[in-house]
């Protein structure tokens, strides 16, 4: 019932409020309800959606691209095209740029975020995608690696399951779609809390977003985040951090972080990016009704 209600709510939204950025924690349901992928399809125009799939992060872009193409066709999109970008020159001119001008949604698949940024960063194609997203003309979704690239600062790699320390995380420049955040994915599934905390210590001005698998943080145009999916989204706000030993200890030494604000949000919850306040949903009521 929860998933059906979510789909109906998306489909009944006024057209002007549809476009959004969907940041997906990876391993989203591709077989059964496909709720997150359906939400992206709806946000891209539903039966009128023209979706561009960029599988460049993957080592098998043809296989991954074809799989998502079939999924979005099954979900009722009017047109779906795989933009199989394997060289930066393909982002300069040609059919791919022409399609970006007419599409209503762009989907970035999982894989290697460094590979994806290496192909797309500072290209006319990516600049135009970013511009159209900011203007509210198209929706953008990224899963796994496609989620990691959303901020200016990107978690490019690192370990998990340790105490926070500077050596735990590797940072690189992302694509700057949502510049005020730093995203980690497969979050609780791969025990990455310490990794996100380690990244935030170096950039306390950024909002840490940890997204579980089959879970999505929908960045709305009104400055709020909406949570959907089976897991949780963890938000770490370090803007009022009162102390860290980050500059005084070796890279592998444990980090102290004082006065962090941490929120764990589930389906139906939200977050106000302007006021930095969580928005309570109806998780308890829905759980009781199941």
pLDDT reading at 244 higher than 70:
yes
* Residue from 28, 44, 213, 267 carrying the catalytic annotation: 213
Identify whether 101 is a catalytic site residue. no
Per-residue pLDDT tens digits for 145-158: 999 999 999 999 99
Of all helices (H) and strands (E), which one includes residue 97? Answer: helix 95-102
pLDDT reading at 13 higher than 60:
no
Residue 240's pLDDT is: 96
Residue 72's pLDDT is: 98
Per-residue pLDDT tens digits for 105-160: 999 999 999 999 999 999 999 999 999 999 999 999 999 999 999 999 999 999 99
Identify whether 44 is a catalytic site residue. no
Pair 174, 142: CB distance under 8 Å: no
Residues 3 and 229: their CA atoms lie apart, in Å, by 9
Work out the angle at residue 129's Cα, subtended by the Cα atoms of residues 126 and 131, and round it to the nearest 5 degrees: 110
Residues 24 and 37: their CA atoms lie apart, in Å, by 10
Identify whether 205 is a catalytic site residue. no
pLDDT reading at 11 higher than 80:
no
- In which band, very low, low, confident or very high, does the pLDDT at 10 lie, cut at 50, 70 and 90? low
Is domain 2-8+19-270 classified as CATH 1.20.1250.20?
no
Residue 147's pLDDT is: 98
pLDDT reading at 5 higher than 60:
no
Prediction pTM value: 0.93
Average pLDDT along the chain: 93
Pair 138, 107: CB distance under 8 Å: no
* Residue from 28, 35, 139, 186 carrying the catalytic annotation: 186
Half-sphere exposure of residue 195: CA atoms within 13 angstroms, side-chain side? 25
* Residue from 44, 56, 144, 198 carrying the catalytic annotation: 144
- In which band, very low, low, confident or very high, does the pLDDT at 261 lie, cut at 50, 70 and 90? very high
């Amino acid at each position: 019932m929860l998933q059906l209600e979510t789909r109906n709510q998306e489909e009944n939204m006024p057209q002007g409020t549809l476009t959004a950025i969907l940041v997906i924690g990876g391993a989203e349901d591709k077989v059964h309800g496909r709720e997150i992928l359906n939400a992206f399809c709806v946000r891209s125009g539903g039966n009128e959606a023209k979706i561009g799939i960029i599988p460049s992060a993957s080592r098998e872009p043809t296989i991954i691209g074809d799989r998502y193409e079939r999924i979005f066709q099954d979900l009722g999109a009017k047109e779906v095209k795989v933009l199989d970008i394997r060289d930066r020159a393909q982002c300069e001119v040609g059919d791919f740029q022409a399609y970006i001008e007419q599409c209503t949604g762009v989907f970035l698949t999982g894989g290697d975020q460094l590979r994806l940024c290496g192909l797309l960063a500072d290209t006319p194609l990516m600049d135009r995608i970013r511009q159209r997203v900011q203007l509210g003309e198209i929706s953008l979704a990224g899963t796994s690696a496609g989620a990691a690239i959303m901020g200016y600062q990107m978690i490019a790699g690192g370990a998990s399951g340790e105490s926070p320390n500077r050596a735990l995380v590797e940072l690189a420049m992302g694509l700057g779609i949502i510049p005020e955040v730093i995203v980690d994915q497969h979050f609780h599934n791969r025990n990455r809390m310490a990794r996100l905390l380690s990244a935030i210590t170096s950039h306390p001005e950024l909002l840490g977003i940890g997204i579980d698998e089959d879970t999505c943080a929908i960045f709305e145009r009104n400055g709020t985040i909406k949570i959907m999916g089976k897991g949780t989204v963890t938000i770490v706000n370090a803007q009022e951090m009162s102390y860290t030993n980050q500059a005084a200890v070796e890279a592998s030494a444990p980090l102290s972080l004082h006065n962090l604000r941490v929120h764990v949000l589930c389906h139906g919850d939200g977050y106000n990016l302007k006021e930095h306040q969580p928005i309570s949903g109806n998780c308890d009521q829905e759980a009781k009704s199941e």
